[in-house]
Amino acid sequence: MDDLGKRIKDLIAATPASRHKSRLMQSIKGIGPKTAAACLAYVPELGDLTKGEAASIVGPAPFARDSSTLRGHRHVSYPPPSFGH
């Protein structure tokens, strides 16, 4: 394992919350240590958000552009809106 990989592994292992999230993600078929580490790095809020908030952060959630009288086209926006986390 390269030095950077070892440092990442050590950082995840040193924090109980990160360790728990990493183990939980790796319990899903197809997610290994590298994918779990990338998810923790790019979306550290995982585990603390609703599924709708998580979908909004990573981008696949469509957003309605409606008002009281108009129904707008739903589309995925980028960058996703911030939830103040």
Q: Has residue 60 been placed in a domain? A: no
Q: Is the pLDDT of residue 49 over 80?
A: yes
Q: Has residue 13 been placed in a domain? A: yes
Q: Has residue 52 been placed in a domain? A: no
pLDDT value of residue 14: 95
Work out the average pLDDT over 70-82.
Answer: 56
Domain count, the chain: 1
Q: Is the pLDDT of residue 31 over 60?
A: yes
Among the residues of the chain, which ranges form H helices?
A: 3-14, 16-26, 33-42, 51-58
Q: Has residue 21 been placed in a domain? A: yes
CB 56 within 8 A of CB 83: yes
CB 22 within 8 A of CB 36: yes
Residue 15 domain boundaries: 3-42
Work out the average pLDDT over 19-24.
Answer: 94
CB 59 within 8 A of CB 78: yes
Q: Has residue 85 been placed in a domain? A: no
Q: Could you give the CA distance from residue 85 to residue 82 in angstroms, rounded to a whole number?
A: 7
Q: Is the pLDDT of residue 85 over 50?
A: no
Longest Cα–Cα distance of the chain, Å, equals 59
